[in-house]
Amino acid sequence: MQILLCTNGFETTRPALTYGMWLAEKLRNPVTLLGILEDPEDQNQLEILINETAQSLKNKKIQFQTLLREGRASIEISKQAQGGDYLTIVGPFGRPALRRWVRGRTFRRLLARLATPLLYVPEANLTMEHVLVCMGGLGFASSMEAVILYLAKATGAKLTLLNVVEPLSLDYPIAREVHQHLQDLPETDTPQGRNLKKGLERAQQAGLEAEVKVRHGNIIKEIMEELHSNNYDLVGLGSSYSAHGLRHLYLPNVTAEVAEAVNHPVLTVRADYKLVVENH
């Protein structure tokens, strides 16, 4: 897996570039530095940021290549990401509020287009000691969990596997069992319990420290409260586009809502992504 670092020249993308270089050092993975010129007036600041980042990569002795494209960031990033196995790292692209309102956020468009891992970094906190892994009962988070394990092995991070149990809206056996066993959910033969148990086993097999937390309430609200009440360095969420059919059209986009509201780096991966680890 290569790392794709993206910038349109705005200072708001600098934290993502800094974080991406730090992560590339940890993983010892090659980097593609992608600069997108969206407006000719931004050319000077784009060149400055690209040159500064390229020099830092050289100083760190990280293998890299630099690419320059003209067009909309979401389109050019998607084209490049589709051409390889990338971990795409982006930050806020400095859009005016009116443009974000009319066109929507670039992160949401990338979330819809990318089949490979996407890491959104609004602020660069260069540590990864404690990671929140948001699980679920349908298995959509399995690929995200695999990428998190890959990153955590390189940094020695502790994992907290979180399952949020929503209020009971339909009275059926599995839902009742989940609500009756909030304190020992991994021991139950429910989809949520099985996923948590497998997650713990995979973390232990990777030699990582891991724990389970179960919260009850609205998914977005509970994730946000968990993030605000503990010192997490990264949060992993499954992609809403892992769902089949029209499911993602009528369910809340939990990943986007969380990413846009917190300052933590947010990793999202679609369920059908298969991680391939190469030795460098």
- The CATH number of whichever domain residue 214 belongs to comes to 3.40.50.620
The share of the chain scoring above pLDDT 70, in percent, equals: 85
Q: Which domain holds residue 54?
A: 2-120
Q: 242 and 136, same structural domain?
A: yes
| The dihedral sign for the CA sequence 189, 166, 243, 205 | negative
Judge whether 278 lies within some domain.
Answer: no
Give the pTM.
0.89
Winning range, highest mean pLDDT, from 85-89, 164-168, 185-189: 85-89
Q: 228 and 146, same structural domain?
A: yes
| Cα 207 to Cα 63: distance, rounded to the nearest angstrom | 28
Of 94, 120, 146, the residue that ends a domain is 120
pLDDT at 19 over 90: yes
Structural domain count of the chain? 2
Judge whether 276 lies within some domain.
Answer: no
Averaged over 50-60, what is the pLDDT? 97
CB 37 within 8 A of CB 8: yes
Please, what is the angle between helix 142-155 and helix 191-205, to 10°?
30
| Cα 29 to Cα 57: distance, rounded to the nearest angstrom | 12
Judge whether 125 lies within some domain.
Answer: no
Judge whether 149 lies within some domain.
Answer: yes
Q: How confident is the model at residue 241 (pLDDT cuts 50, 70, 90)?
A: confident
User: In the prediction, which pLDDT does 56 show?
Assistant: 97
Judge whether 221 lies within some domain.
Answer: yes
Q: What is the pLDDT of residues 72-128, one digit of tens each?
A: 999 999 999 999 999 999 999 986 554 443 344 788 899 989 999 999 999 989 999
User: In the prediction, which pLDDT does 32 show?
Assistant: 98
Judge whether 265 lies within some domain.
Answer: yes
Q: 240 and 136, same structural domain?
A: yes
Q: 220 and 147, same structural domain?
A: yes
Judge whether 277 lies within some domain.
Answer: no
User: In the prediction, which pLDDT does 70 show?
Assistant: 96
User: In the prediction, which pLDDT does 51 show?
Assistant: 97
The share of the chain scoring above pLDDT 90, in percent, equals: 64
Higher pLDDT, 57 or 103: 57
Q: Which of 115, 193, 200, 195 shows the shortest CA–CA distance to 149?
A: 200
CB 25 within 8 A of CB 60: yes
pLDDT at 203 over 70: yes
pLDDT at 173 over 80: no
Q: What is the pLDDT of residues 205-236, one digit of tens each?
A: 999 999 999 998 999 999 999 999 999 999 99
Q: 247 and 169, same structural domain?
A: yes
Q: 158 and 252, same structural domain?
A: yes
Judge whether 160 lies within some domain.
Answer: yes
Of 120, 150, 166, the residue that ends a domain is 120
Amino acid at 217: G
Nearest 5°: the CA angle 78, 147, 227 is 95
Q: How confident is the model at residue 272 (pLDDT cuts 50, 70, 90)?
A: confident
Q: What is the pLDDT of residues 120-139, one digit of tens each?
A: 999 989 999 999 999 875 66
Mean pLDDT taken over the chain: 87
User: In the prediction, which pLDDT does 247 show?
Assistant: 47
